[in-house]
């Protein structure tokens, strides 16, 4: 592996957008405009859409395989534009791609953990947990009190801390971060959980509070596990 050649030993997560998200951007969609163009394309060009998604699925598989071969320790497939597709079209077009990606990558690399994040399409989490993904990432819209029930014992969880808790606005402090971390760990459980954000960092977050989040996750989860 590349990292071995370079004498490095750093945990590394490989990453790729999922085929539906790639198609959405390819036909001119974005999070700020042309929100409907992706589904419109699926409806207007169903055969072409299926062919394109099949090609993109193969590309994603090879791209993520190359990441493992060059040192990635785990992989995440990111359906970033899950909020831009309805459930029926997701199940028809996006889900088969995610299924093929999981099946093929697990066949090639059975010991490499796979994560999937269908942002804005949490209706798919139960179905995704039944595929060969080890971790289902949950966004901020997912209710923590039912998140475990949705995936059962089929997969672990990743998420879903609110990044707004990390922005200094006069009310957010190291103490409030630690308290909200405790709440997340209590609600989701401290095990079979990758504590992470429900959305990405936006750039306004305090580095002090981000560090407190990381420290609190390690310290509070250790205390909970030890005390259980």
What is the pairing mode between strands 13-17 and 114-118?
A: unpaired
Listed in sequence order, the residues at least 6 apart from 128 whose beta carbon sits closer than 8 Å to its beta carbon are: 95, 98, 116, 118, 136, 155
Residue 1 has a pLDDT of 58
pLDDT of residue 7: 83
What pLDDT sits at residue 170? 94
| Low pLDDT (below 50) residues in the chain | none
Q: What is the pTM of this model?
A: 0.93
CB 132 within 8 A of CB 149: no
Q: How many residues does the chain have?
A: 228
DSSP state of 74: E
Instruction: Give pLDDT, residue 212.
Output: 98
Q: Which of 123, 162, 128 is nearest to 146 (CA)?
A: 123
pLDDT score recorded for residue 5: 82
């Amino acid at each position: 592996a590349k990292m071995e050649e370079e004498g490095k030993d750093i945990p590394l997560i490989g990453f790729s957008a999922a085929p539906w998200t790639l198609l959405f951007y390819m036909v001119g969609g974005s999070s700020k405009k042309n929100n409907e163009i992706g589904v419109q394309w699926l409806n207007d060009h169903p055969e072409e859409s299926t062919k394109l998604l099949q090609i993109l699925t193969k590309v994603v598989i090879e791209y993520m395989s190359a990441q493992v071969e060059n040192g990635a320790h785990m992989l995440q497939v990111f359906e970033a534009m899950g909020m831009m597709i309805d459930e029926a079209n997701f199940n028809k077009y996006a889900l088969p791609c995610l299924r093929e990606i999981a099946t093929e990558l697990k066949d090639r690399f059975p010991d490499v953990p796979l994560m999937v994040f269908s942002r804005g399409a949490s209706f798919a989490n139960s179905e995704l947990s039944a595929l060969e993904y080890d971790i289902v990432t949950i966004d901020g819209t997912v209710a923590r009190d039912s998140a475990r029930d949705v995936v059962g014992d089929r997969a672990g969880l990743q998420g879903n801390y609110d990044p707004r808790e990390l922005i200094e606005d006069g009310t957010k402090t190291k103490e409030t971060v630690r308290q909200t971390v405790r709440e997340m760990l209590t609600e989701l459980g401290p095990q079979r959980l990758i504590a992470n954000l429900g959305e990405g960092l936006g750039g306004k977050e305090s580095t002090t509070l981000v560090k407190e989040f990381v420290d609190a996750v390690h310290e509070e989860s250790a205390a909970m596990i030890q005390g259980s």
